[in-house]
Structure 1
Amino acid sequence: MRTRTEPRTRLVPHTIDGETKMVPETYTVEVPVPPKDWDHIVLTGALAVVAAGLGIVIVWSTSSIGDLLARAVSEPAIAYAAATGFSLGWIVCMALEWVDRYDPVRIRRPRTAGHVFLAADMAAVCGHGWIADSFIVGVIGAVLSGGAKWLWTLVLDRQAAPLDSRTQQWVNIKRGEIGGRLALGASMRQLNRAEARAAAQEVALRSAPEPSPETPEDQEEAPEDTPELPASGPVTMAEAVRTAISCGITDPDAVLRYVRKVVDANAKEESVARTLRSLRRTA
C-alpha cells in the first residue's frame, strides 16, 4: 500500500522556571494514498473534450452564420452578434439539462428546446455552405454541431442517476414545498412594498391643509325671518351690537355671531352680552 508523508501540528506542554505553557509542535505522519479513480479521471477528460468541442463549434457556427447574415445587413458586427444566438440557444438548453438531470420529467422541455435550436443552427450552417458554393463544407459544419450535442447527451446520461418512483415523488413534494415558501416570500415582499406606497400616499394626503372646522354657532342655520346684517360693520363692539339691534336682531347668540364676524373673531360672549344689556337699558 502506498503512503505519503503529511505534516501535522499539535499543542504540547513546555515548562520554563516552573511555568508551563502549551506550545505548537510540528510532526509528520504516514497516511495511506487511495488508488486512483480512473472512472472519475476518464469522465473528467470526457467533459474537457466536450467543452473544447463546444468552443470550436461556437466559433465555427458563429463564423458561418455571421457571414450568411452579413449579406443582409450593412454592419457585419450586428450579423455576427446575432449569429451567436443560434449556438448559445441550444448550449443554454444543455446547461438546463444538466441542472434537471435527476428529474426525467423536467428535463424533457430543455432537451426538446435544445433539439429545436440545434436544428436551426445546423440548417443555417448548411444554408451558408449552399450560398457560398461549398455545400459539403456546410454539411460538415452542421455535423460538428450535431456531434457536440450528441457527445454532451452521452456524458449527461452517464452523470444522471435515475431515481426510483417513490424517491422521485418525495423530491417533487419537497421541491413544491420549498418553491411555495420562495413564492410566498416574494409575494410578501410585493405586498409590503405596496403597503408602504399606500401608507406614503395616505401620509401625503393627510399633510395637505385641511379646512378649519366650523364652530357649532357656524353650523346653526339662521331663521328665515332673520334680517340680513351688513357684511362689513363698525370697528367697535358697542357699535356692532347697536347695529344688530337696529336691524332687529335681539337674540344674544345671533348678536355674538355678528360681532365675531365684523369685529373680533375671539370676542367673549360675556362682553357681548353685557354690552347688549347696557344698550337695551339706554334704549
Structure 2
Amino acid sequence: MRQFAFRLDAVLGARNVIENVAGASSTLAAVQTVRAEPDGHTLYLGSNVSQVIAPVMLKLSYDPLTALAPISQVTTSSSLVAVSTRYGVKNFAEFVAKAKAEPDGVFYGTSNVGFQIPAVQISRIAGIKLVNVPFKGGAETVTAVLGGNIPMIIGTPPTILPHVEAGSLVALCATSAERSSVMPNIPGASEVGLKGLDSVAWFGLFAPAKTPSDIVAKLHAAIQTVVSDKSLYQALGKEGLEPRGSESPEAFARFQRKEYDENVAIIREAGLAPT
C-alpha cells in the first residue's frame, strides 16, 4: 500500500496516511472502515483473504459484500507450486504420475488457508491426494521442505523462487491459468493440464458502504492512473505482485462476488470451513 500511497498523493493532491491495523486476517481493519464516516477519507486495503476466505472461516460482525463499497482492485498475484529436488521429478506431469502411486498422498506445506484452496483444486483436477501441513510462515514452510520433512510447498514467488534458482526446489506451475509476469518462466496451470484452475490472490481498495458514488468514482479514476505507472510494476514485482486495476467500481464488485461464491464452495467442499 505504501507504493500506492505516495503515488496517490500526487494524483489526488492530498496526503495519504497509512494506519496498520493487524489481527483476524485484516478484518479488524475492515471494521474500523465500516464504522468510519463515508466521506472518502477512510479507505480499506482488503484482499481475497479478508473479503472472501475470512468471512467463511470467522464469525464477522459485518457482511463483506455489503458493508464496504468496492472502489478498485489494485494487485493480483499467483501462488507457486514447487517440490524438493529430492522428490525426483522434473515437471508437473512427472509429479502427478509419482503422486498417484503414493498410498498416503503427498504432504505439502502452506502458511495460510489461501494456499490450501488451489491445492484442493489440484487434487480434484489431477486425481491425486494432497495432505496439508500448516506452518506459521513461508520461511518456516520452505525450511521444512528443504530439510526433507515434507516434499511439497505452495506459497508466494518471493518465498520460493530463490530456492528454485538455487536448484534446491523444482517449480511445477503457477496457480493462475496463464503465466505470471512475475515468474514468466514458470508454466501456468492451464499449460500443465490443470484446466479450470485460476487461483490468484488480490488486493483492492474499499470505502464505507454509504460513500457517495461521485467520491468512489473519483478515487477509482485516481487508482487507475497510479496502476498505469510503469515504476509500480518494478516495485511490486519484487514482492511477487502485479498491479491490476478495475474497469469500474461495479466491475470490481462483480469480481468480488464471483470470487466469494466460487471460493466459498471450494472451502466448504474441502471441509476447511467450521461446521
* TM-score category of the 2 structures, normalised to the smaller one: under 0.3
Q: TM-score, normalised by structure 2?
A: 0.22
Structure whose CA Rg is larger? 1
More strand by share: 2
Q: TM-score, normalised by structure 1?
A: 0.22
More helix by share: 1
